[in-house]
Amino acid sequence: MKIKNINVHFTEAEIDKKIRELGARISEDYAGESVCLICILKGASFFTCELAKRITVPVEVEFMSVSSYGSGTESSGIVKIVQDLSTSIEGKNVIVVEDIIDTGRTLSYLLENLKTRSPKSVRLCTLLDKPERRVVDVKVDYVGFEIPDEFVVGYGLDYNQQYRNLPYIGFVEIEE
Ligand SMILES: O=P(O)(O)OC[C@H]1O[C@H](OP(=O)(O)OP(=O)(O)O)[C@H](O)[C@@H]1O
Ligand code: HPA
């Protein structure tokens, strides 16, 4: 797959506005409590940093790296924890932060895994959701934008490890 063009779909300003809204909702939902954001590397790192800044209740930020084996643009469901949390989540209000939910395989595995660690609660927050692609049902509590089944890059999302640094999110146009 060779990229011909990247068509801007969500501008930096639109993303910023959406993250502020999500931060406000989370702050309201967890009023009087604290939250532990679990950033799923690498894609969610850009989103997690901005989201954390917009949450007004006490926030802990932790990182986890998983690899979801697959070829090209499709995950397989075989999820491996490459880098685990460096701390316990027992008794904490966990919010798993993702850049995108596609088939749902990665998140379904992760949520089950995290629930075995006795958190007080576990919710899921994603910047982008591609509901048309879902293979495994996952309950998503906070969604930034729903998008159609098209490949996107930018704001943390990559194609072959490139384009994560774009400040906007764009649909990829493939060279015929
Ligand atoms: O719903 P699914 O089909 O399981 O796909 C979603 C997963 O794919 C992406 O990660 P990726 O494996 O590309 O890793 P990255 O964040 O390091 O780019 C994304 O960040 C999710 O973790
Ligand atoms: O559209 C996408 N872009 C980048 N990474 C992804 N992982 C699942 N879907 C996507």
- Quote the pLDDT of residue 3: 86
Predicted pLDDT at 73: 58
| Ligand 1, atom 18, residue with closest C-alpha | 43
Has residue 127 been placed in a domain?
Answer: yes
d(CA 144, CA 147): 10
Predicted TM-score of the model (pTM): 0.95
Mutate to test the pocket of ligand 2, among 73, 150, 161 (most ligand atoms within 8 A of CB): 73
CB 100 less than 6 A from any atom of ligand 2: yes
Atom from ligand 1 closest to the CA of residue 104:
1
Tokens 């989201």, located at residue: 51
Q: Confirm whether 167 is domain-assigned.
A: no
Verify whether ligand 2 is closer than 6 Å to residue 152 (CB atom).
yes
In a domain, 155, yes or no: no
Q: Residue 57 Cα, ligand 2 centroid: separation in angstroms? A: 30
What is the span of the domain harbouring residue 96? 19-149
Ligand 2 atom closest to the CA of 157, numbered from 1: 4
Say if 50 falls within a structural domain.
yes
Query: Percentage of the chain surpassing pLDDT 70?
Result: 95
Distance 159 CA to ligand 2 centre (A): 8
- Please choose, from the candidates 174, 141, 160, 169, the residue with its C-alpha nearest in 3D space to the C-alpha of residue 15: 169
pLDDT at 55 over 60: yes
Structural domain includes residue 109: yes
| 102 catalytically annotated | yes
What's the pLDDT score for residue 58?
98
CATH number of the domain within which 34 lies: 3.40.50.2020
Of the two residues 171 and 72, the one the predictor is more confident about is: 171
Residue pLDDT, tens place only, 9-45: 999 999 999 999 999 999 999 999 999 999 999 999 9
Average pLDDT over residues 144-173: 96
Quote the percentage of the chain above a pLDDT of 90: 89
Distance between CA atoms of residues 122 and 37, nearest Å:
10
**What pLDDT is attached to residue 100?**
97
Total domains in the chain come to 1
CB 37 within 8 A of CB 62: yes
| Domain presence at residue 68 | yes
Q: Establish if 26 belongs to a structural domain.
A: yes
- Residue 96 placed within a domain: yes
